[in-house]
Amino acid sequence: MNYKEDRPWGSFEILHEEDYLKIKKIIVKPGNRLSLQSHKKRSENWVVTRGSAVVTLDEEEIPRSANQAVFIPAGAKHRIANVGEEDVVFIEVQTGTYFGEDDIVRYEDDYRRE
């Protein structure tokens, strides 16, 4: 069921999906970051497998590298930034009641997406 999509900051691939669960592999290119966003209907667990990142979780900046994780509760503002020289690769495990892209509320976006 793998589905891959390129984005301005890198790419993501859906590895697995069920009614209550979605798993993605996400790659963030050096010097790039995802939008500052939140979700109403899902929580996320991020496990970094490669690279050096800084995760923004509400007002906190959390450095993360390979073999480190962070939990993002539903409603929390969050983003990940690649602060290293190589790609950041992380696994995102979404749990909740809905996983559609229209559950993203964007607060800041380097690529001017709504």
Q: Write the DSSP symbol of residue 34.
A: P
Enumerate the β-bridge partners of residue 28: 10, 88
Say which CATH class 3-108 falls into: mainly beta
Q: Is the pLDDT of residue 2 over 90?
A: no
- Residue 95 phi/psi, 5-degree rounding, is -130, 145
Cα gap 63→4, rounded to integer Å: 27
Q: Is the pLDDT of residue 112 over 90?
A: no
pLDDT in tens, 88-100: 999 999 999 999 9
Q: Write the DSSP symbol of residue 103.
A: G
Q: 98 is written with which tokens? A: 């809905």
Q: In what order do the strands lie in the sheet with 42-50?
A: 3-7, 10-18, 21-28, 88-96, 42-50, 68-72
Is the pTM value of this prediction over 0.85?
A: yes
Whether the CB-CB separation of 72 and 78 falls below 8 Å is answered with: yes
